[in-house]
Amino acid sequence: MNDSFEMSSQMNRNLSKRIKDIKLNSLLEITKAINHNHSTEQLLEIFENVIKTELNIGKLVLFSNENGWKCILKYGVGEEYNYINVENDLLPIKEISTTNFSQTTLSKTFEIVIPVFHKTEPLAYVLIGDLEDKVEVSPTIKHLPFVQTLASIIFVAIENKKLAKENIRQAAMKKELELASEMQSMLFPTSLPKDNVLDTAAFYLPHQEVGGDYYDFIWLNKNECAFCVADVSGKGVAAALLMSNFQANLRVLFNHTTSLTELVRELNTKVMASAKGEKFITLFIAKYNLVTRTLTYINAAHNPPLVSIGNSISLLKTGCTGLGMFDEITKIKEGILNITSGTSIVCYTDGLVELENDNSEDFGIDSLKDIIRNNPELDMKSLNRLIMETIINYKQSMPYIDDIALFSLRMH
């Protein structure tokens, strides 16, 4: 009797030691796999082998949140797991629980639900059960703490892999945006004239890393120059790409014609071909003759620039519809202005005047007029700086809602 009891006790001790060894080796194997950055599939393969082969747990279904709850591992079950509704059946479960499905077949199939959380966010749900009923304490119950530990280690590791991959993706995207920003900055003129004939200055603030606002200054010949401000509908990379294409077309077309009407018609055709009617560009473009002191311009649905002559401020509105709105622009009207000494022109995009403060009030064109009217002594660079300082204070805690471009010019 005593011999039989002693033999039974020894067998239990040996079995217990073997199980402890299995668990320890399993944890070591998982740790090594994580340290060697094994794939999610390899980690799940180790998990299945431990649960199924080493611990003799007969049934398992594993749900993971992969942009929606999906079954990523299963064995020992038929198609009944398809009837599990994770949102209704599992999400309310915050701790390890016995199963309580509304469908009897599911409750018979699975015994335990193990939720795996990262802080308050559920990462996975492990459903386990035995292949057949047993009289003694089932392996499912006996090894429950270890199964919980193993599942948590694996899914935290998987989540960390996701986060690492996302960080790499975001870093690569940031690098691409920085490169795009550098390339976009090359589209703008590297220097602007500031002498006793012309005083010009510009400022650009993209809403994101890159944007769809644009300004330019081009010498057509020794007596004529052209300048423009444009704005693509939308923001970000798509707007920046369309604008870079627009800038290239603008400069090429100026090599073939100095007629603003012809130029705008051609640009409209190019924008339609590039944007396929999904985006449009507003444009103010002007040509100034230093000898005749004549300014010719077309406003293609852009925010009207402000012309300051003494205390008088007027708007440059004459022109046509925006580019890319229609297949053809049938009616284009050129505006003509005789320039007196000291005349200033301030061109801008809607991100400036539509900027809101904490009371949801636009900065507005009247506020811009007041800055120009009250500071006639400022050079163009100082005027632009004052405008930007004013709107920074005006917006209070509100964010910038759009790209901002400023181009200011004074004819002496």
Give the CA radius of gyration of the chain: 35
Q: Quick one: average pLDDT of 324-346?
A: 95
Please report the pLDDT score of residue 172 as a whole number.
Answer: 65
Token couple for 314 = 């007027």
> What is the per-residue pLDDT for 107?
67
| 8 Å CB contact between 79 and 102 | no
Q: What percent of the chain has pLDDT over 90?
A: 41
Phi and psi dihedrals of 98, rounded to 5?
A: -75, 155
What's the CATH number where 286 sits?
3.60.40.10
Q: C-alpha angle 70/75/79, rounded to 5°?
A: 65
Is 46 among the domain residues?
yes
Banded pLDDT at 209 (limits 50, 70, 90): low
pLDDT, tens digit, 9 for 90 and up, residues 67-91 = 788 888 888 888 877 878 888 888 8
pLDDT at 133: 46
Cα 356 from chain centre: 22
Q: Assess if residue 179 is contained within a domain.
A: no
Q: Note whether residue 207 is domain-resident.
A: yes
- How many CB atoms sit inside 10 A of residue 249's CB? 18
Q: Which is more confidently placed, 247 or 282?
A: 282
The pLDDT tens digits for 128-158 are 887 444 434 455 556 677 777 777 787 778 7
Q: Is residue 172 part of a domain?
A: no
Residue 212: closest CA among 178, 177, 243:
243
92-96, 151-155, 286-290, 385-389, range with the lowest pLDDT: 151-155
Residues 36 and 79 in one domain: yes
The whole-angstrom separation of Cα 46 and Cα 229 is 62
DSSP string, 61-90: EEEEESSSEEEEEEES--GGGGG--IIIII
In terms of pLDDT, which residue wins out, 317 or 177?
317
Question: Does residue 26 contact residue 53 with C-beta atoms inside 8 Å?
Answer: no
Interatomic CA distance for residues 302 and 304, integer angstroms: 6
> Which of 132, 165, 198 is at the close of a domain?
165
Quick check: is 158 in a domain?
Answer: yes
Full residue range of the structural domain in which residue 249 is found? 187-411
Q: Which residues have C-beta within 8 Å of that of residue 291, sequence separation ≥ 6?
A: 223
One domain for residues 265 and 375? yes
Residue 385 lies in a domain: yes
Tokens of residue 170, six digits:
């975001």
Report which listed range, 59-63, 96-100, 297-301, is most confident: 297-301
φ, ψ of residue 125 to 5 degrees: the values are -135, 125
Is residue 174 included in any domain, yes or no? no
Are 93 and 201 in a shared domain?
A: no
Question: Would you say 241 and 217 are in contact if contact means Cβ atoms under 8 Å apart?
Answer: no
As given in the structure block, the two tokens for residue 410 are 């004074």
Please indicate, yes or no, whether residues 152 and 235 belong to a single structural domain of this protein: no
Contact 200, 411 (CB under 8 A): no
Do 83 and 23 belong together in one domain? Answer: yes
Q: How far apart are CA 322 and CA 318, in angstroms?
A: 12
Instruction: Read off the pTM.
Output: 0.63
| Pair (221, 307) in one structural domain | yes
Tell how strand 319-320 and strand 294-300 pair up: parallel
Average of pLDDT values for 42-54? 83
Residue 10, pLDDT > 70, answer no
* Overall average pLDDT of the 233-246 stretch: 80
pLDDT tier for residue 256 given thresholds of 50, 70 and 90: confident
Which residue has 């991959």 as its token pair? 165
The whole-number pLDDT of residue 183 equals 64
CATH number, domain at 83? 3.30.450.40
Q: Which residues pair with 300 in a beta bridge?
A: 283, 320
Closest CA to 260 of 202, 299, 317, 294: 299
Cα angle, residue 238 at apex, residues 233 and 241 outer, rounded to 5°: 100
Per-residue pLDDT at 83: 79
Residues 139 and 243 in one domain: no
Q: What is the pLDDT of residue 137?
A: 46
Q: Outline where DSSP puts E strands in 20-77.
A: 59-65, 69-75
Question: Is 60 exceeded by the pLDDT of residue 15?
Answer: no
Domain count, the chain: 2
Are 141 and 254 in a shared domain?
Answer: no
Indicate whether 335 and 280 sit together in one domain: yes
Backbone angles phi, psi at 117, to 5 degrees: -115, 150
> What count of other Cβ atoms lies within 10 Å of the Cβ of residue 9?
10
Q: What is the pLDDT of residue 16?
A: 57
Distance linking the first and last C-alpha atoms of the chain: 118
Candidate from 140-149, 221-230, 261-270, 375-384 with smallest mean pLDDT: 140-149
The answer to whether position 7 is within a domain reads yes
340: pLDDT strictly greater than 80: yes
- Mean pLDDT, to the nearest integer, of 264-272? 94
| Of 286, 310, 312, residue with least CA distance to 220 | 286
Are both 236 and 362 inside the same structural domain? yes
pLDDT in tens, 369-395: 999 999 999 999 999 999 999 999 999
Same domain, residue pair 288 and 374:
yes
8 and 146 inside one domain: yes
- Stretch 200-210: mean pLDDT, rounded? 83
- List pLDDT tens digits, range 180-194: 666 666 678 888 999
